[in-house]
Structure 1
Amino acid sequence: MTVQVKICGVGHPGAVQAAVKGGARYIGLVFYDRSPRHVAPPLAAELARMVPTGVRTVGLFVDPSNEYLEHVVSQVPLDLIQLHGDESPARVAEIKAAFSMPVMKAIKVSSVADLDVVDAYAEVADRLLFDAKPPAKVSALPGGNGIAFDWTILTGRTWSKPWMLSGGLTIANVAEAIAISGAQSIDVSSGVEDRPGHKDPDLILDFLRAAGR
């Protein structure tokens, strides 16, 4: 089966064009102001309008209020809301109901025990995303830190909802990550950047090739 790829944290037209040209299935826009990949809604709307039918536009949020979600979705045409903070299963269900939009919930992983919460989120989210748990330091972001977790934690596991692998994926390790984890969808952000927050079109194309697109 062909692996679906999400290029997350795009911030300029060249990145969108490379992702689409290379066969990415998802384009991610980050709406979290502490991230170097943060995009304001007016620019995000321009980028989203470049995304063709058949490619899904994902908005990444971290513990957002309904007011902020409304502020963004009223301006930016999104297909999927990604929740990357400490949102509870109840909050995931609330957001899904309030905005009538599919929701993907990020689960932060460093050990097998971190998977204990998965079933509760699978009941309410449309998709799951497994990302490396951020390092315990004040400057760490909820995601996009360029670190991986032990992919064998996911080997042979199945859940009731489709899931995506994220965290520290690069051109050099993506094929191994897919083989070990069994992921059918993957997400990359810092692994296709030439500097923090800036996607390199050539790296995007190389990554998509390495992922088998």
Structure 2
Amino acid sequence: MKTPGLVKICGLKTPSTLDAALAAGADMVGLVHFPRSPRHIDLAEAGLLAERARGRASVVALLVDPDDDLLDALVASVRPDLLQLHGKETPERVGAVKARFGVPVMKAIGIAEEADLARVPPYAAVCDRLLFDAKPPKPAADGATVLPGGNGIAFDWRLVAALDPGRPAMLSGGLTAETVGTAIALTGMRAVDVSSGVETAPGLKDPIEIVAFVAAARAAWRAQDEAGTP
């Protein structure tokens, strides 16, 4: 039996856009706590949005290289269903976070070339889910801020098409309503994650784009299932 497709809308900041994601049928909603990000919200705001989504979608809390004090505070105030570690956390750190906090962990791995796939097995051994994202670009000469994710860039999806990491995996990086069907067809992924691809400006989600993205992903999975493709 086919694994149901999962859609995650990440970087939600307001009740109205959260409601739009839930109404569109998102399975996961992502709340970002990383001050450098235009999608950052404080723990109190994240807690309120998490309660609004509770029971309607899985709540994912995204952090970048958090220390234990921050994780203590976030787990207490947000009570996430999943912790998304999107920094330079080592496999040892990922395993320690999972063991200490008892919350499932998804680790983001930046992909740009085949050599990056060597990082997958050590993380697959310790996390609950993997997120394949585009590797962040190198800092520009003008010193412009480069974020660890949410940069709106894609990688060559064919790199992960035949990959079996032994853990559930999710695809991210430059996805939009226009491209997600192609990404699903190329990779066979049954879970996708979008942030900048449903925005009108960094951090500003568009409810219409959210609806279109969810519908496009579902249509792609439906086509696969009807065709009997993996």
Name the TM-score, length of structure 2 as normaliser: 0.90
Whole-Å Cα distance in 2 between the matches of residues 102 and 34 of structure 1? 25
Name the aligned partner's letter for residue 144 of structure 1: G
Match in the other structure for 1:181: 187
The aligned runs of 1:93-132 (5 Å cut-off) are: 93-132=95-134
Any idea what SS the aligned residue of 1:129 has? strand
Show CA shifts across 1:112-148 (max 9, x none): 1101011110110000000000000151100000000
Deviation beyond 3 Å, 4+ runs, structure 1: none
Once the two structures are TM-superposed, the CA of residue 77 in structure 1 deviates from its matched residue by: 2.1
Whole-Å Cα distance in 2 between the matches of residues 73 and 40 of structure 1? 13
| Candidates 64, 67, 73, aligned match of 2:69 | 67
Match in the other structure for 1:142: 148
Whole-Å Cα distance in 2 between the matches of residues 204 and 156 of structure 1? 28
Whole-Å Cα distance in 1 between the matches of residues 49 and 204 of structure 2? 14
Please identify, of 192-201 and 47-56, the stretch whose mean Cα deviation from structure 2 is larger.
47-56
Match in the other structure for 2:223: none
Once the two structures are TM-superposed, the CA of residue 47 in structure 1 deviates from its matched residue by: 0.7
- Which consecutive residues of structure 2, in runs of 5 or more, have no partner in the other structure? 220-230
- Which consecutive residues of structure 1, in runs of 5 or more, have no partner in the other structure? none
- Aligned 8 A contact 2:136 2:147 in 1: yes
Bigger Cα Rg = 2
Name the aligned partner's letter for residue 160 of structure 2: L
Once the two structures are TM-superposed, the CA of residue 52 in structure 1 deviates from its matched residue by: 3.9
Name the aligned partner's letter for residue 112 of structure 1: E
| Candidates 191, 197, 210, aligned match of 1:204 | 210
Name the structure, 1 or 2, with higher relative contact order (CA <8 Å, separation 6+): 1
Question: Aligned pairs, how many?
Answer: 213
| Candidates 152, 167, 170, aligned match of 1:161 | 167
- Indicate the RMSD between aligned Cα atoms, in angstroms: 1.1
Once the two structures are TM-superposed, the CA of residue 54 in structure 1 deviates from its matched residue by: 5.0
Identity of aligned residues (%): 49
Once the two structures are TM-superposed, the CA of residue 182 in structure 1 deviates from its matched residue by: 1.2
Show CA shifts across 1:150-192 (max 9, x none): 0000112212100000000011100000100111100000000
Once the two structures are TM-superposed, the CA of residue 46 in structure 1 deviates from its matched residue by: 1.0
